Homo-oligomer: A and B are copies of this chain.
């Protein structure tokens, strides 16, 4: 059954059902989201805000630019596109609340594939206790998925611009696995071993660090970003916003054993340049580290220095490493 075999109402009803069942599996429904006053099917979703701050983000994926259908199933593509939005909310220290999706698909796209994608939306929504509350389906020759997400927070939103000299730079999880998974998929091997499968799975199905963001939001003078374009590239952006520099120690970068096993030569380059890890990169006052460690996993990878010192990556011997090895994703190159 193709999209142009069913009318718009039927299609919306099929997809709303996938979402409702998915949300219900996680104990969520429009009924227990008391703040939600209008959901799927009207011109807009609506609610009564009940947090002192709201955050608002939008992120899109385009076929053959951000994903390939031979590298991931539609379930994972749906999961991951929403994950990248949830991660932006996480980086502000907020809880994701309500999402909308605009899908651009050709008329010959199958309803089965669409349902798989919605199952991905539903499952990650439930996992993070948020709801997809509507959207739009438009005709497009190449597939794109554009998602918009609202989050709520009790604390003022975290930003990129509060890093200052003396702060330590931390990561809330390992990095590089997603990029490694992509590199493995690009090899198109007939079979993958356990380590490789682990890395590929991390590429396909990331878990954003929402609870870590909330813990960070309780501190003062914290800067955060999510690692979407690569640690080095994202740290560069954070330092530009905060008008500071940073020194990173490459041996401190947390990586999964599977990454260093599969890529014994290149794992550090992959870890620093590879994007889509969706852990948080943050700068905090060193006094806060011990306390933070009681609540979240974290890895100190370096420190903030003056703007004039720029950004350096040092190896175990204190030698500067070539930054060109660590450049990440640029959206138009």
> Which A residues are within 8 Å of any B CB, using their own CB?
3-4, 7-9, 37-38, 41-49, 51-62, 65-66, 88-89, 91-92, 94, 98, 100-102, 104, 107, 133-142, 144, 146, 148, 150-151, 153, 156-157, 159-161, 225-226, 240-241, 330-333
Cβ–Cβ contact B160 & A58, under 8 A = no
Cβ–Cβ contact A44 & B104, under 8 A = no
With contacts A38-B157, A46-B157, A91-B43 known, is A142 near B140, CB below 8 A?
yes
Cβ–Cβ contact B46 & A56, under 8 A = yes
CA distance A241 to B156 in the complex (A): 39
Cβ–Cβ contact B54 & A46, under 8 A = yes
Contact pick for A136, options B53, B55, B60, B226, CB 8 Å: B60
A156 to chain B, nearest CB (A): 7
Cβ–Cβ contact A56 & B41, under 8 A = no
Cβ–Cβ contact B138 & A58, under 8 A = no
Residues on B with C-beta less than 8 A from A142 are 140-142
Determine the residue in chain B with the shortest Cβ distance to A150: B56
Most B CB within 10 A of own CB, among A52, A65, A153? A65
Residues on B with C-beta less than 8 A from A102 are 58-60, 146
Q: A38-B55, A58-B135 are in contact. List 13 more A-B contacts (CB 8 A).
A: A37-B156, A38-B157, A43-B92, A45-B55, A46-B56, A47-B54, A48-B52, A57-B134, A58-B101, A60-B104, A62-B139, A65-B138, A137-B331
